[in-house]
Amino acid sequence: MTSTAIVRFRRDLRLHDNPTLVAASDADRLLPVYVVDPRRVGEQAYGGPDSFRYQRTGGHRARFLRESLSDLRERLREHGSDLLVRRGRPADVLPEIADAVDADVLHEQALPTTEERETGAAVGDALAADGVARRTHWTHTLHHPDDLPVHPTVIDDTFTPFRERVEAESTGRDPVPTPDLPPLPDQLPEAGEIPEPLGSVPEASADGRGVLPFRGGESRALARVEEYLWTGDHLREYKETRNGLVGADYSAKFSPWLAAGCLSPRYVASEVDRYEAERVANDSTYWLVFELRWRDFFQFQFLQHGSQQFRREGIRNRTDLDWRWDETAFRRWADGETGVPFVDAAMRELAATGYTSNRARQNAASLLANDLRLDWRRGAAHFERLLVDYDPASNYGNWAYIAGVGNDSRDRAFDVLSQGERYDSDAAFVTRWCPELADLTAVAPDYAREPWTAPREALVEAGVELGVDYPRPMAGLDDRYESIP
């Protein structure tokens, strides 16, 4: 009897190193499907106590996702297959498709976060009612949970012991080759247009000041690995440059493709191995894989702690912390109008491009959570909307960590002023995103980073009037942000 499988793509929009696709390709007939879930791309409630509403997917990620789906469809067609795209709740849509093609089994990616797990379970229940099996495959981390020294639900809550044990005791798996894809089922439904825009917001185009244009899709992901490692040979100095703020190559910029699954972390690690064998093995080559282990760590933490990760009190149940809810203050932070140029530059870059560096994210998050003490979940949800590389575990995990409610009990507050001085000493980052301070940079970069400290003559010379051309530091910050008399 002919067997028919469905492979439902989720955050694994690729053909390379995709164990779900390999397993599904055992069938005689295979239908690849992607479901656009309206709950992910429109306005939603945050949920839980003190909920608020927010747009979940902004214009940059909507564009990136659509491009990724187009590329996936093209690559599947090159392999004699196709991609069926449907809009609706997966638990409603997938049983209909299974029925139309008389499928026996659906294969899909297993994900660690609550909502994705609930959606998957609902799909499983709906299919089971029709006698269709659901098989899941863990495919998005560097280390497979079965290869960890201990079960992922009992791993350490702090990164260093986790990493040390993983480095000492876990082996990685090699990427799996792309399988020969079985033919499509005979009674094929219409492939369906890839909706444009995908969500309820208009797609955003690339901003020329951004670090990279970030085009979605596996083809672009593989090209970026080629450029960063091989053509540009940047990996050899990654550890020294990774705290940069301006330019394409201070860090790998793999995150949007890793988050959408256009790129496999195991493929990246295997390319690093090859680079170490053919070019150089040093602290930098080690450090890129070290960062992929940070990524793994957050994924496994979400498996362990479930929805507690999204709570204001976090996994450490910090009921002792007070959080403010001040709409005007929040908007100033979100709009890059705090009057603190290092943070304003980060927030403006994020809004304009969907990306800002790790260093900039840390400082922007810390100012909101630790200096202004505004509810960190609002900030995290704002990042969720805007980030082109949004990943629930990486985003909420990093936010909770900085807000002091997540992994690690040490104080994670950043001294934003000294960080700016250290990482943006020439104020190039500030000037790029706060151009109204450019002439002040020419007088002295220190004044551009901290314009409230500039003497009156310097402000006059640069033609900057604080409170008119650029805001004064907002209320709620400590006295280091006060203007000199």
Ligand X SMILES: Cc1cc2nc3c(=O)[nH]c(=O)nc-3n(C[C@H](O)[C@H](O)[C@H](O)COP(=O)(O)OP(=O)(O)OC[C@H]3O[C@@H](n4cnc5c(N)ncnc54)[C@H](O)[C@@H]3O)c2cc1C
Tokens 């690093």 — which residue? 272
What spatial distance separates the first Cα and last Cα of the chain, rounded to whole Å? 86
Q: Which of 391, 407, 416, 420 binds ligand X (CB under 6 A)?
A: 391
Nearer to ligand X, 87 or 236 (CB): 236
Query: If binding is defined by CB under 6 A, does position 309 make contact with ligand X?
Result: no
DSSP collapsed to 3 states, 328-376: HHHHHHHCCCCCCHHHHHHHHHHHHHCCCCHHHHHHHHHHHHHHCCECH
Q: CB 95 → ligand X: shortest distance, Å?
A: 31
Query: If binding is defined by CB under 6 A, does position 292 make contact with ligand X?
Result: yes
Integer Cα distance of 394 and 401 in angstroms: 10
In one letter, which amino acid is 66? R
Query: If binding is defined by CB under 6 A, does position 194 make contact with ligand X?
Result: no
Q: Report H helices in 242-337.
A: 255-260, 265-278, 283-305, 327-334
Q: Which of 298, 333, 376, 481 binds ligand X (CB under 6 A)?
A: 298
Integer Cα distance of 277 and 271 in angstroms: 10
Query: If binding is defined by CB under 6 A, does position 4 make contact with ligand X?
Result: no
Query: If binding is defined by CB under 6 A, does position 390 make contact with ligand X?
Result: yes
CA-only gyration radius of the chain, Å: 24
Integer Cα distance of 457 and 460 in angstroms: 5
Integer Cα distance of 38 and 26 in angstroms: 31
Query: If binding is defined by CB under 6 A, does position 394 make contact with ligand X?
Result: yes
Q: Which of 18, 255, 431, 441 binds ligand X (CB under 6 A)?
A: 255
Nearer to ligand X, 95 or 392 (CB): 392
Q: Which of 395, 419, 431, 441 binds ligand X (CB under 6 A)?
A: 395
Tell me the number of residues near ligand X by CB under 6 A: 29
What is the per-residue DSSP string for 400-434? HHHHTSSS--S-----HHHHHHHH-TT-HHHHHH-
φ, ψ at 155 (rounded to 5°): -70, 165
Integer Cα distance of 356 and 352 in angstroms: 10
User: How far, rounded to the nearest angstrom, does the alpha carbon of residue 103 sit from its chain's CA centroid?
Assistant: 33
User: Of 5-13, 19-27, 391-399, 461-469, which part binds ligand X (CB under 6 A)?
Assistant: 391-399
Q: CB 257 → ligand X: shortest distance, Å?
A: 8
Query: If binding is defined by CB under 6 A, does position 253 make contact with ligand X?
Result: yes
Query: Which of left, alpha, beta for 286 (phi over 0: left; psi -120 to 50: alpha)?
Result: alpha
User: Of 42-50, 201-209, 392-400, 466-474, which part binds ligand X (CB under 6 A)?
Assistant: 392-400
User: Of 154-162, 285-293, 440-448, 474-482, which part binds ligand X (CB under 6 A)?
Assistant: 285-293
Q: CB 447 → ligand X: shortest distance, Å?
A: 27
Structure tokens at 357: 């560096």
Tell me the CA distances in angstroms from 133 to 4, 7, 24, one per residue in order. Answer: 11, 12, 12
Q: Which of 252, 352, 400, 434 binds ligand X (CB under 6 A)?
A: 252
Q: CB 390 → ligand X: shortest distance, Å?
A: 4
Query: If binding is defined by CB under 6 A, does position 334 make contact with ligand X?
Result: no
Nearer to ligand X, 188 or 248 (CB): 248
Q: Which of 242, 318, 373, 472 binds ligand X (CB under 6 A)?
A: 242
Query: If binding is defined by CB under 6 A, does position 424 make contact with ligand X?
Result: no
φ, ψ at 45 (rounded to 5°): -85, 145
Query: If binding is defined by CB under 6 A, does position 386 make contact with ligand X?
Result: no
User: Of 71-79, 151-159, 398-406, 424-432, which part binds ligand X (CB under 6 A)?
Assistant: 398-406
Query: If binding is defined by CB under 6 A, does position 251 make contact with ligand X?
Result: yes
CB of 171 closer than 8 Å to CB of 147: yes
In one letter, which amino acid is 80? G
Contact mark string toward ligand X, 361..380, x via CB under 6 A = xx--x---------------
Tokens 């994705």 — which residue? 116
List residues near ligand X by CB under 6 A: 242, 251-255, 258-259, 288, 291-292, 294-295, 298, 357-358, 361-362, 365, 383, 387, 389-391, 394-395, 398-399, 402
